Structure 1
């Protein structure tokens, strides 16, 4: 199945409440500075132009309140980070954090991540992709709504540069097994750990993670790598 024919079922449902005054102000005043406007009709992004510099680009899907993304972008100034999210409240919080901390290597986009990945990210353009604690859609009849599907992994593998990473994390054991099993079917993705990663690497903790741990959930990190050609 090609990228052009793959049309995923939406993996999110908008349940957003009323924005706070600060969140609305951030969207009104800061999105033009730290956010980007993109639609599928615009075609692929020029990532070097977007960040006004050449540096490895990491795409972060579903950053939530932006806590982890802001922290990891601050810790890696040598990389550019593009965060995509559908929830305006979390985006407002992240924009305020970018302004307060003076983060210069992070841009945000309010959009459907699957559409962006399909239409807006060029082949072999990403140094990495992060998917931390996506909606697990735990009921079996809703599994089709999960972000991680075999065609999605095929598309991710295409968008990653050789040697690029895919880092997924979840606190739902059944979803972790789903991610692991599907990843084993994508021939361009290697699992250097042979299973789950022994630690979260440079992934900072998140509010969703802490909530899951309080409920007694284990946390699973799956860190894959796009095969690099042999030398």
Structure 2
């Protein structure tokens, strides 16, 4: 239950009964929350156009059971203008949150990372690295963070080194020509705000998506298909 208005975003919604909607919110203090927005499809409902993905909201809800009842929702700013690849990237982020988080598990750090991502998506120059930063934050917040500073034997990661991730969490130094290796520069860049140059950006994408795939249960994401991506394409492929 949310006693007062709380910052939130809509991740997904579907029609429910004759005039209502079931909406998945991602809230700053409560994490993912399922709510019933009663009458939201009515022609005079103020929620009809408000409960849309990517629009910042202030919301409150209450009640018992798996689905709460939405009590209030009001705008907390303008939604970012997302079209084409930017829209696909936003849908991809929403699907990751729906698939990998559980209801009622607060992640204020992840909420902040999602908010930052939405602000960056309209800028084509920032979009891809913003996605990488969000993916890394998602893994970290859910307890699956990548080892970016030290190898399994305690040696510090250096920009000139080559490394391989084994078993999802074990980082080992390897020879420069080793298959599946990633550069130390890529790993170190994932700790900061600035994207790595050149090929390192592609390495970061492959590394993060391999790590995410371990937690998706073998089921491909749907978002790459929604705007014309190949059926079954790896997560985020259409925007890379």
Whether the TM-score (by the shorter chain) exceeds 0.5 is no
Greater C-alpha Rg: 2
Report 1 or 2 for greater relative contact order, CA contacts < 8 Å, sequence distance ≥ 6: 1
Q: Greater share of helix residues, 1 or 2?
A: 1
- Give the TM bin, normalised by the shorter chain: under 0.3
TM-score (normalised: structure 2) = 0.26
